[in-house]
Structure 1
């Protein structure tokens, strides 16, 4: 059985939900306080024991490569000023086996994964999406790797979501539980309407896949949005080899939309040693101010209708 050593991080999307900022700045480089979102993903991969990471980029994404490159001038400046802690933070971003592939045209997540075929080779690998930041005692990617050690099969991370939100996700149709929290899957449905959804278990941004997925992707026809959908390819794979779904019970931060990004920034800020005290005071003061304004606002009474 091959060891899971490699991770693919798709980062070629246009980031339209964060325009105009993402016209010139990758959404993966938007900071959560002082750390770009993509670094949370890379850190999770490293903590899980992943050895090699490829980031699939697109146009206007060069700053991701620059971020993970060395900056001798900056390092010399920090060293001369004896700013050792800052120097360590800067150097940590270059101490990674990191590779980059360009996706020439945005043809969907499935196509982005397919561009990494030569990098992955004939090995199982993980796919980690940058919109989902995961928190748990054991990193979610490591949880999937632990499941693979037992099943030797592709395994996706799923999480229960409100039923009215299922149309935003790929959703599983569970067949049975192999063990608590690990589902045999009958089929996968990409972004179903709430009326047609087979469950509330939505696929979130972590996948552990066997290399046979590439054969499927090479022959996969475009699906929703006229794109090559990874969920459709996984559904096809499930017809020839078992694919499992692992239910994640930790905390998921969705930074793929404005409000989710703001919530995550605040929550992370409340744990950050440099800003947590000031931020907590600010939130309390702001809450008191808003309550005062609400109390002072004139009350409106609704006239009875005849």
Structure 2
């Protein structure tokens, strides 16, 4: 039987972004820019390129700027049109979703990632869907979610993107357990351990913020007791679902930047800037002079 197409994706964007205060006092952390585009735009583009037809943003207070970013800016576009700024106008039109392809729902209390995903249940309905954590910015061709959709189309079930981390850093991540050899590109996931101490982790493969899950996860999240930090944890619900459905791990082929940290955010800016040939010519000597000083 053919697997149901992955049509919808959930992007949880309700977080406060406290690690970037005071910059995020009035500006959502997802709207911080990598070169000349907000982080959220890169993640939306990744989803679109993977064939996602409808994106659900789970928002919180003071996140209206995200909704505005993906809407028509009448005054700005009229001004660009009157000034014959065709290239800038074309750029704005390219990032605008088609009508009816985005939804925004509110997570009214900060009750955890699992609760944020549960808030999208009625919009997703009874079909498999993707989750993209906007803090995690992926750099690859094809994109991370495109790689996952390819695996899902072959295996069905649930697919989790993972990548290797140094064994002395496992305490910073959610680590997967696998069935048998994990040296290949894909493998069966049998468990997950949240932030295991170095030397106790079952593998060195961490979950890097991309998921394809079956809709049964919503029922589990709805009855889920609070876990670590007094929050409803997505990991706990996935562990329960793992007893009923297969989970496939995909070793992501590309680079990941954790833009929830200052160092990851700065590294992403440099990496994406160096991809621009003209910008790279100006930037490389500046970076070298900083390193030499």
Which of 19, 23, 26 in structure 1 is aligned with 2:25? 23
Preserved CA contact (<8 Å) 2:56 2:102? yes
Q: Which runs of 5+ in 1 are unaligned?
A: 291-306
C-alpha distance in 1 between matches for 2:183 and 2:202: 20
Deviation at 1:177, TM superposition (A): 4.9
Q: What is aligned with 1:153?
A: 157
Q: Does 2:104 correspond to 1:105?
A: no
State the alpha-carbon separation in 1 of the partners of residues 272 and 190 from structure 2: 37
- Cα distance in 2 for residues equivalent to 1:178 and 1:261: 29
8 A Cα contact 2:167 2:199, kept in partner: no
Structure 1 residue corresponding to 2:53, chosen from 18, 27, 51: 51
User: What whole-Å deviation, never above 9, does each CA across 1:128-150 have from its counterpart, x for those lacking one?
Assistant: 00111112222111111111111
Q: Where does residue 247 of structure 2 map in the other structure?
A: 243
Within 5 Å, give how 1:25-44 maps onto structure 2: 25-44=27-46
Deviations 1:215-260 (A, max 9, x none): 1111111111111111111111001111121111211111110011
> Structure 1 residue 68 and structure 2 residue 62: aligned?
no
SS of the counterpart of 1:21? coil
Matches within 5 A, 1:188-207: 188-207=192-211
The 1-side partners of 2:179 and 2:263 are apart by 34
For residues 95 and 223 of structure 1, the distance between their equivalents in structure 2, rounded to whole angstroms, comes to 36
Structure 2 CA distance for aligned equivalents of residues 152 and 284 of structure 1: 47
SS of the residue corresponding to residue 176 of structure 1 reads: coil
CA distances 1:130-181 after superposition (whole Å, capped 9, x unpaired): 1111122221111111111111110100111111221221111111259932
| Per-residue CA distance 1:33-91 (angstroms, 9 max, x = gap) | 11000000000011111111011110111110111111111111111111111111112
Aligned residues: 289
Aligned-residue offset at 1:121:
0.5
Contact 1:10 1:55 in 2 (8 A): yes
> Is it true that 1:176 corresponds to 2:180 in the alignment?
yes
Which structure is larger by alpha-carbon Rg, 1 or 2?
A: 1
| Cα distance in 1 between the residues matched to 2:20 and 2:235 | 25
Paired residues of 1:69 and 1:93 also in contact (CA < 8 A): no
Q: What SS class does the counterpart of residue 113 from structure 1 fall into? A: helix
Match of 1:6 in 2: 8
Deviations 1:257-301 (A, max 9, x none): 00111111112112235633222232233334x1xxxxxxxxxxx
Q: Residue 211 in 1 paired to residue 215 in 2?
A: yes
- Measured after TM superposition, the shift of residue 196 of structure 1 is 2.7
TM-score by length of 1: 0.90
Asked if the contact 1:107/1:228 (under 8 Å) is kept, the reply is yes
Q: What is the RMSD computed on CA atoms of the aligned residues?
A: 1.5
Task: Tell me the secondary structure at the aligned position of residue 180 of structure 2.
Answer: strand
> How far, CA to CA, are the matches of 2:182 and 2:214 in structure 1?
19
Segments of structure 2 that go 5 or more residues without pairing to the other structure are none
CA distance in structure 2 between the aligned counterparts of 1:225 and 1:196, rounded to whole angstroms: 22
Corresponding residue number in structure 1 for 2:121:
117
**Counterpart position of 1:299:** none
